[in-house]
Amino acid sequence: MKTENETFMIQARRCQRCGGILISKNGIDEGYGHVCKKKMLQEKTAALPIFGQINLFDHAKESEDLL
């Protein structure tokens, strides 16, 4: 049994969203941890317009076009 300290190196990088250290192969390849990736997908989905819904600016433009 060795009692010496052994030194080893692993490949790692920082998450592009939170700056945490990534050591998994997927995290290193994608640049995001699994939690940050899930949050980004949720934010992206939330930013999409809801089908059939118009905003105030669209309604004002349509009203101007009718005049």
Query: Measuring CA to CA, how many Å separate 53 from each of 29, 45, 47, 61?
Result: 37, 15, 13, 15
The predicted structure's pLDDT at residue 1: 58
Predicted confidence at residue 67, as pLDDT, reads: 62
Per-residue pLDDT of the chain (67 residues; tens, 9 = 90+): 566 788 889 999 999 999 999 999 999 999 999 999 999 999 999 999 888 887 788 777 776 666 6
Which amino acid appears at position 23 of this protein? I
pLDDT on residue 14: 97
Q: How far apart are CA 17 and CA 14, in angstroms?
A: 9
User: What distances in angstroms separate CA 54 from CA 5, 15, 43, 61, 66, one per listed residue?
Assistant: 64, 36, 20, 11, 16
